[in-house]
Structure 1
Amino acid sequence: MAREEAAPKGALDRALEILEVLTMRGKATTAELVEAVGVSRSAVYRLVERLEAAEYLTLSDGQWRLGPAAARMAMAAVQNMDVLAVAPPILRELAHRTGETVSLGVHSGDEMVFVFREIGHQAVHVRSELGARRPLHATSVGKAYLAGLSPERCEETVARLPMQIFTKSTVTDRDLLREAVGEARLRGWAEEHGEFDAGSTCFGAPVFDQSGAVTAAISIAGPTARMDAARDPFGPLVAETAAAISHRLGYSDRTKPQQH
């Protein structure tokens, strides 16, 4: 079958590219826009003039920036981006793909509260009832949330946790918890091996909003024997899913606060 050729780019495509460049860079000269978009200077001039007239761009000190119309559009988008509105279809796909129980948790006090759950076709009873509260230190969803915090906020939170024992595998040493959270931050997901429910293994990852702040965490859980024997590694899968949700919420790597 012959490969379908991409349609040539029109003025709308070029205008969107200009808006994307300024979204990422913050500001750019006309020459920089010409280089980034790859069209003639005259074509860029026509586009930016139209965008300026509609208040999507503004010119200051020889550099273009996003204008008030773009700001209004961004604010309207943010107001309609709620993790409970965005996450469920993506989490259902993960549950369908893996057959295991997938959950979404939000932070409340020193715990996480499950606000969405999708049970996969392989799932047996897993202790993740909707509305249930889970400790930060003994669950993948809790450790994932901690990993998404700034180091300062994370340390403040870890220092005050009660560190309750739930199973013989529950980690109650704060230094070991700090190590686990640090590992989760580096690799992109947290793990729980029988720490809250002795028979289950869970993987969790943080979800970030448009400001770069952690706003929730997701997890995938199942019986330890089946999770260990799975063909696809669950850690990268849950991290990939959390990243997709974060992207839908307006998050990009450049908005995340720097970790020191």
Structure 2
Amino acid sequence: MTESPQSPTVLGPGAGALDRGLAMLDHLATVRSCTTSDLARVLGLSRSTTYRLVDRLVKGGWLASDPATGNLRLGPSTARLAGAALGSVDLRSAAVPVIARLVRQTRETASLAVPNGLAMVFVHRERGPRPVAVTDEIGASRPFHSTSVGRAYLAALPDAQLDEQLDTLLRAADSPLHEGMIAELRATLERTRRRGWSEDRREFDESSCCCGAPVYDHTGRPIAAISVAGVAERMEHVMDDIGHLVAAAAAEVSAALGHARTAI
């Protein structure tokens, strides 16, 4: 899915040296490389302040100068800190509290699914509190092409990987897809990318509707999808509202895994 560049940290009038240094690191985590003058301009700092802080951050290993361009980039101290942070967070531990909040917000069933072979597999589900709610066992699988979790994952793939995945699906002996379905599926995935979340309106199950959004790891690779599913008569009138909640939840989990939103 196409994502918008992350806005730079806004520094208030009372920002101290620590706030300014962290803002520099945050900006470089998004743009990857820039000049010291760029930092001063984007963060609204004087050149003298910026050069003084950059010098301290370089000496501490938090920033480094790119040998090829002379531009600044994140340094080895940042990499060590990032590695320690990533090692302390896994997908399920990051997703479970967010999914629990989704259930409270929507009162519908929320789930976490990961790709496995030709399908998505639920690895965590929390049933909504309504008397009639969508339910299924952990470990249940869902096809890529006709479900919100599957479409969310496919739409998040870069075009080349999407082509490979669709080709694999078509060649599989037990594939639910045939060549005549690909054009419509691609159009659905493109709408999903533009909207920011996927939907399944009674397509997998006539009695339910679902919204989904992808979860990315620290490299920007989609690794899972979060969904909210409910009885169709309730869900089909509020899909836009719930879709935005699911997209925000997936983005929160992705951020916890180290994903920085950038333009693809």
> Where on the TM-score scale, by shorter chain, does this alignment land: which range?
0.7 to 0.9
Of 197-206 and 152-161, deviating more is 152-161
Q: State the TM-score, normalized to the length of structure 2.
A: 0.82
Deviation at 1:231, TM superposition (A): 8.6
Secondary structure of 1:251 counterpart: coil
Question: Alignment partner for residue 96 of structure 2, among 88, 92, 104?
Answer: 88
Of 230-239 and 87-96, deviating more is 230-239
Structure possessing the higher radius of gyration over alpha carbons: 1
Report the equivalent of 1:43.
Answer: 49
Letter in structure 1 aligned against 2:59: A
* Residue 53 (1) aligns with residue 63 (2): no
Q: What does 1:1-260 correspond to in 2, within 5 Å?
A: 8-59=14-65, 62-122=70-130, 124-159=132-167, 160-161=169-170, 162-164=174-176, 173-230=181-238, 233-254=241-262, 258=264
Report the equivalent of 1:169.
Answer: none
Q: Percent identity over the alignment? A: 43
Deviation at 1:222, TM superposition (A): 0.8
Contact 1:127 1:197 in 2 (8 A): no
Letter in structure 1 aligned against 2:233: A
Identify the structure with bigger relative contact order (alpha carbons < 8 Å, sequence gap 6+). Answer: 2
Rounded to whole Å, the distance in 1 between the matches of 2:209 and 2:215 is: 20
Rounded to whole Å, the distance in 2 between the matches of 1:45 and 1:248 is: 31
Cα distance change on mapping 1:144 and 1:30 into 2, 3 Å? closer
Deviation at 1:148, TM superposition (A): 1.1
Rounded to whole Å, the distance in 2 between the matches of 1:7 and 1:43 is: 14
Cα distance change on mapping 1:155 and 1:120 into 2, 3 Å? same
Rounded to whole Å, the distance in 1 between the matches of 2:212 and 2:79 is: 34
Secondary structure of 1:216 counterpart: strand
Of 38-47 and 70-79, deviating more is 38-47
Of 176-185 and 214-223, deviating more is 176-185
Deviation at 1:164, TM superposition (A): 3.7
Contact 1:90 1:241 in 2 (8 A): yes
Cα distance change on mapping 1:230 and 1:163 into 2, 3 Å? same
Q: State the TM-score, normalized to the length of structure 1.
A: 0.83
> RMSD in angstroms over aligned alpha carbons?
2.5
Contact 1:220 1:238 in 2 (8 A): yes
Which ranges of structure 2 fall in alignment gaps of 5 or more residues? Answer: 1-11
Q: How many residues are paired up?
A: 245
Deviation at 1:71, TM superposition (A): 1.5
Deviation at 1:111, TM superposition (A): 0.8
